[in-house]
Amino acid sequence: MEKQAQNSQFWQDAKLAGETNQEISALKEELEKLSEIEKELDELGELEKISKDDQSLQNSIEEKYQTLNKKVEKEEFRLFLSGKYDKRNAILQIFSGAGGADAQDWAAMLFRMYERYCQKKGYKTSTIHQSFGEGGGPEGRIGLKSATMEIAGPYVYGFLKRETGVHRLVRLSPFSAQKLRHTSFVLVEVLPEIKKAEEGDINISPDDLKIETFRSSGPGGQNVNRRESAVRITHLPTGIVVACQVERAQAQNKEKATSILYSKLAQLQEEQNKKEIKEIKGGLVSASWGNQIRSYVLHPYKMVKDLRTEVESSNPDEVLNGDLEDFIEAEIKIPAAKNND
C-alpha cells in the first residue's frame, strides 16, 4: 500500500488516496500495538527469572501481568472482527413497524441509543436522512418513520453489523389516555460503507433506477429547504429505496444516496452467498422482519434481553442511553464460537 501511495497517479483521486492513507495508518497502529505487547511480555519473562526471592518484585510482576492481559484481550477481540467489511465505516438505518405513534417514538428512542453508543466509542456520526412521524404525543414528542445515520471509526461495521434485525419494545404507552401496555417493533439495518473503487464490482444500469427529488424537512417545519435538493433513488429490480437530504446541493445528495444503494446491493450479494453456503452447511439465520433479536421491556418489569445470546440487563435506562457493550461483545463472540465448532 505504501508503494501504491508513492505512485505519481495516486493523488489523482483525492478521496481514494485519503482512504488508503487512513488504512495504512490503521495497519501501522495495529502492528505497533502488537510489537509493544511482545516487548512487554519479554520484559516480564526476564523479571520473572530474577524475582524468586523478591516478594515486592513478584507483586509488581503480577500488576504488570494484569495490565498486559487486558491489552492482549483487547487485541484478541479484533480476531472476531475479520469479516470482509468489518474494518469499515457503517450506515445504520431504522424503520418503524406497525403501531403508529408508539412505533415511531420507539424508532426515535433507538436512533438516540445508537447515537449515544457511538459517542461513547468515539465514533463520528452524521444523520443523512430522517422521515418524521405525525407527532401529537406527550411533551410534543415527534417520532421517526425512518432514519439513516452514517458512522465513521475503526471496525464500526464489525461491531454493529449484528444489530441488524427487529427490536421489540413493551411499555405503558405514553400515547394512550388509558395508559395501556403496548408492544412496538422497529427494524434496524446496518450496512458496510462501500468505497468508490469497489462500486465497479456491482453493476447498476441507469435504466434500473428511478430518481426523484423532494424538499428536505424537519419536525415542526424546521430546516425546510425551499429547493428540491433531497434525493430518493429506487432500484427497480430489487425494490430497494434509499434517500439523502443532509447536503444542500442536489448533486451531493444524489452521490451519497447512490453510495448507500451500492452498500445495500453489496449486502444483498453477501446474503445470497450465505444462502448458497447454507445449502452446504445449514444453520444460518436470516435477518428478516419477523426475526426479533432483542426485547426491551419497561413494564410490568424492567429487562433488556438479547434473544440470540441470552445476555440480559435489568437496567434498560442505561442500555437506552447507549450502554450496549455487553450485548455487542456477546453478539460478536458467540456466533464466532459456533462457527468454529
- pLDDT at residue 139, rounded to an integer: 65
- 341 residues of the chain, pLDDT tens digit each: 888 888 888 888 887 788 788 888 888 988 998 999 999 999 999 988 888 878 888 888 999 999 999 888 878 877 888 888 898 899 999 999 877 889 999 999 999 999 999 999 999 999 998 998 876 666 667 899 999 999 999 889 999 999 999 999 999 998 887 888 999 999 999 998 886 556 556 778 889 999 999 877 655 444 445 467 889 999 998 888 998 987 778 888 888 888 888 888 887 877 776 665 455 434 444 434 566 899 999 999 999 999 999 999 999 999 999 999 999 999 988 755 454 44
- pLDDT at residue 197, rounded to an integer: 54
Taking the C-alpha atoms of residue 106 and residue 123, their distance in angstroms, rounded to an integer, is 23
Provide the whole-model pTM. 0.72
Taking the C-alpha atoms of residue 326 and residue 226, their distance in angstroms, rounded to an integer, is 45
- pLDDT at residue 117, rounded to an integer: 97
Condensed to tens digits (0 to 9), the pLDDT of residues 298-321 reads: 999 999 999 999 999 999 999 999
- pLDDT at residue 135, rounded to an integer: 65
- pLDDT at residue 201, rounded to an integer: 65
245 CB burial (10 A radius; 0-12, 13-18, 19+)? buried
- pLDDT at residue 137, rounded to an integer: 64
- pLDDT at residue 316, rounded to an integer: 97
